[in-house]
A and B are shown apart, each in its own frame.
Chain A
Amino acid sequence: MRDKTLGIIGGRVYDPANGMDGEVRDVWIRNGSVVSPEEADKSGAMIIDAAGMNVMPGGVDLHSHIAGAKVNHGRKMCPEEHASHKRDRLEGGRSGAGFTVPTPYMTGCMYAEMGYTTVMEAACAPLVARHSHEELEDMPFLDKGMLITMGNNEFLFDCIGRGEKELARDFIAWTLKAVRGYGIKVVNPGGVENWKSSRSNAGSWDSEVLGFGITPGKILETLTWAADSLGLPHGVHLHGLNLGTTESAEQTLRSIREASGRLHLTHLQFMSYGKDKKGRFANRSQELADAVNANSNVTFDVGQIVFGPATTMTSDGPFQYNLGTMTGHKWFGGDEENETGGGIVPIRYSPRNRINALQWVTGLELFLLAKDPWRVFLTTDHPNAGPFFCYPQVIRLLMDRSYRMEVLETLPESVRKRTILGEIEREYTLGEIVTITRAAPARVLGLPKKGHLGPGADGDVAIFHPGDDGRRVPKCRSGKGCRRKMDLPRWVIKEGEVIVKNGKAEGETHGKTLHVAPPFDFTVEKSIREHFSRYYTVSFDNYPVQDCYLPLEEEVPCR
């Protein structure tokens, strides 16, 4: 390998993992990794003069639906929104289209152009993992991985029903290795199975999973234990019960209280609702924030609402059906044999809609009431609550109280009267923003080389000039009233290579696929083979994803 060094000189470095909060320092990258200044070969190095600029690690998104069967169905289903959101081949690179669900090429470019370099696909059914890998291969610039849906897997249900938790654990390890996944995603455990078998759902952790004699609580407990027992870099990633309903907060609070290991609550905003004294739809963000603050094993990402168009896509089959019925919009449903279900419904969040306005308020309350920035992460559950490229707007809302108040003023009075948001003075510091978008998600994902700029870290760096804030011309029509911060990086570096210059992606650098391979007892394959021959329409031997689907890969070690 040719020795190649890049120096980023004189910038204000924001690297919370290493205690840097804007100190002027030089960052050196040699052959793709950050090195100490002593180790850098400065002669012949490429130098970026970062004087007056903010230097930080590349962004890490731990929950975003960017690739795979479900995402592609969403992309196919909404041609009407692609027409005005395109990427022109003549500007260099490939063409692309899509607003809330852009093509993988466009997704890679737009993430990079926002200073992000690592993204985790939020939910992939193992049966169609090969599809996700194919799309990820077509996504430039980013390192990526995927979370594998396991909360409605019938093999696991059988194991849990028989009390064979070791077999369940080995099956999880086998599956993660077979499909080259990164972590365990749980979506409405048991509820999706009940939807498939009887058009019902699971309302509580004690509900019965019909036909299996187990409960959602038991499923979550087993998966939590397995994640810790296998030493997976990332703990259980939970989309719990009753999403979006007045029963969601109650069950979420219970899952926090009863968590027996690491627990990540995803898009908590959608899980934070109950009823007020008059029986009206109300949020319980204060209680949830208190519960998270008090339990250091629990982390959450917000899933902040962005007003404008979105596409809801989850593995939560009954939720998606209900949303389709409620809105009357087009509904895609997808039941996957033995493993999961799901659906897609396009939606538009309007500040005039009381429920949507309350959701917007709830997300911000959660951000601002969470005391430890190391346990809260910025997401919009792309594209469920809003597109990922609206992160700069969310960052501005968090850092700038006057902007927050300005938007709050436009919301219905009934919502304003019932929120404490207006009383919250807190503004995120830049260091805290770097924590919730970089350092903290990297840490909770268990990626030791991401989210910081210490020696040994991957040379992924984003460099912003504060004077550039808000200067990117938004490509969406919902740009009215949108103010932004950190939307136009001067430079983005991926493993020592420049991938973005003056806010524009360039070149054809491809990132790696991050995956895990926890050890397991190989005798488990006999039971799995038997299960396949009875209940699968794909043969056991054709199920695992071959090496050729991960031309660039990195196995992330288990603990």
Chain B
Amino acid sequence: MKNVDSVVCTFCGCLCDDIRVSSKDDGTIEIKGACANGKGHMEEYDPSPVSPTLRGEPVSWEKAIGEAASILRNARSPLFYGLSSTASEAQRKCVTLADSIGAVIDTTSSVCHGPTGIAMQTFGEPTCSLGEAMNRADLLLFWGCNPMVAHSRHFTRYSLMPKGRFVPEGRKGRRAVLVDVRETPSAKAVDRFLRVKQGYDYEVLSALRALVQGKRMDAGEVGGIPREELVSLAEEMKGCRYGVAFFGMGLTMTRGKDLNVGQYFSLVRDLNAHTRFSVIAMRGHGNVAGADAVLTWQTGYPFATSLAGGVPVYGPGEFTAVDMLARHEADAALIVASDPKAHFPAEAAAWLDSIPHIVIDPVFPLTAQGATVYLPGAQYGVDAEGTYYRMDGVPIRTRAFRERQRPTDEEIFDRLLEEVRR
């Protein structure tokens, strides 16, 4: 039996790096310390070599790469999309490829925390690393997110439960508040749950900002939350020592989008006139934060960037994948480690299905069905090493605990680049 310690789970933005994997002599593996999501992610991936396919038929890597390169070379308006579940080494090569052929490149951020990026560009962002929440936070605010289900170890590892330098009591030393449109499983773990009426986050946040700024509020309730509750929450936030405000797609993907997030950021900024408060976005996919970072340092912009004219041009709404596809503006696509056909609006998914498209993914997602070329790479964090950025931007190198028998995404991009430049 062989043990590998400090394995990094690449499933979600928590990037828990305290997993132990035991490989038994009979070839089976045992995962210790991961949540159910992570366990499944690591166990269910089979590292055996898989043949690439061309229109559903198995072909050699050479043939598949050649066909993929020819699709990219012949496209007039290629769209690259995804990137959130692959390593930054591959992301960097992917942007290089997009730059060399003049593609539009977008990431899954455009359908999750893209509005968070836009809010950051408008208002700034008072943030901190997860360890500051662990070591300092005596008040935790969760808004429009459900960590119990989506980031299962967030509470125990980073926010609610752990003992920290200035919170030696752990859970007893913290208060936690959840604001959401429904009473999710996370509500049971916190001290206080406030139900906001669907679509009224902006109004509630505005009321809280006014209260934090010392303004009087006459309304009996805002967004379904009674005045007294808002007043006491504002007081509680002002009175804590160090607060951390987490938020999820309940803010970013509901009415108001970046305005909701901007108001949330502004509330946190206002609170810093009274005490210390930071905000952290609950990023979903393992390396979606890395995708934002890599795109930013290679193009200047975090997502929705066109390289078609030889220079980077930023355009959420114009160069975002859903919009490009729904308007039939892409004539070929490269989908990396994501599953747009399963998640995009029907019209966008249908157009994607109708144009030549290449899928790079260690597993076989719905999007790979009907793909012109499918290129199965290795899975970072299982049989490949690479850099993943945690939801707070901390970069961690993943470990490989299984023998690699497939090319990495990075190697696939190297071969594509070579072939496209030929």
Contact = CB atoms under 8 A, between A and B. Distances in A.
Interface string B155-169: 001100001111000
A131 B8 CA distance: 17
Contacts, number: 190
Contact of A76 (B99, B120, B273, B310): B120
Interface string B285-320: 000000011001111111000010011111000000
Nearest to A78: B121
Given A96-B312, A331-B269, A539-B18, A338 B131 contact: yes
Interface in B249-293: 269, 272-273, 275-276, 278, 292-293
Which of A69, A86, A95 counts the most B-chain CB atoms under 10 A from its CB? A95
A540 B396 CA distance: 11
Contact of A128 (B124, B166, B273, B395): B395
Given A95-B299, A338-B131, A88 B311 contact: yes
A96 B311 CA distance: 7
B204 interface: no
B296 A76 contact: yes
Contacts of B272: 199, 321, 333
Interface stretch (A98-106, A424-432, A436-444, A462-470): A98-106
B17 interface: yes
A105 B313 CA distance: 16
B135 A135 contact: no
B120 A77 contact: yes
B5 interface: yes
A94 B96 contact: yes
B36 interface: no
Main secondary structure of the interface of B (DSSP, over half): mixed
Interface residues of A, number: 65
Contact of A138 (B92, B122, B399): B92
Given A95-B99, A335-B132, A69 B298 contact: no
Nearest to B268: A333
Contacts of A69: 293, 393
B65 to A, nearest CB: 22
A97 B121 CA distance: 16
Contact of A537 (B130, B292, B300): B130
A134 B126 contact: no
Contacts of A537: 129-131, 134, 157-158, 394
A128 B136 CA distance: 20
B127 interface: yes
Interface string B365-406: 000000000000000000000010100011111010000000
B278 A89 contact: no
B255 to A, nearest CB: 24
B129 A135 contact: no
A76 B278 contact: no
Given A86-B312, A95-B312, A333 B6 contact: no
B310 A97 contact: no
Interface residues of B, number: 65
B312 A131 contact: no
Contact of B123 (A76, A321, A330): A330
B17 A538 contact: yes
A72 B293 contact: yes
Nearest to B18: A539
Contact of A130 (B134, B276, B310, B395): B395
A97 B299 contact: yes
B408 interface: no
B99 A94 contact: yes
A127 B311 CA distance: 33
Contacts of A404: none
Interface in B37-54: none
Given A96-B300, A128-B394, A537-B134, A89 B99 contact: yes
Nearest to B127: A334
Contacts of A337: 128-132, 134-135
Contact of B387 (A80, A130, A338): A130
Contact of B311 (A87, A332, A334, A536): A87
A334 B125 CA distance: 8
Contacts of A86: 311-312
Given A76-B292, A96-B300, A196 B136 contact: yes
A481 interface: no
B127 A332 contact: yes
A98 B129 contact: no
Interface string A314-349: 000000010011000111111111100000110000
A330 B269 CA distance: 10
B248 interface: no
Nearest to B312: A97
Interface in A464-511: none
Contacts of A324: 124, 269
A12 B124 CA distance: 49
Given A196-B276, A198-B241, A335-B129, 8 more contacts: A69-B393, A83-B314, A86-B311, A89-B310, A94-B298, A95-B307, A102-B300, A199-B272
22 contacts: A76-B121, A76-B301, A82-B300, A82-B314, A83-B313, A86-B311, A89-B307, A95-B99, A104-B297, A127-B394, A128-B394, A128-B395, A197-B242, A198-B276, A324-B269, A330-B123, A333-B127, A333-B272, A535-B134, A542-B6, A542-B17, A542-B397
What are the 8 A-B residue pairs with the smallest beta carbon separation, nearest first?
A337-B131, A97-B300, A330-B124, A335-B128, A333-B126, A86-B311, A130-B395, A90-B310
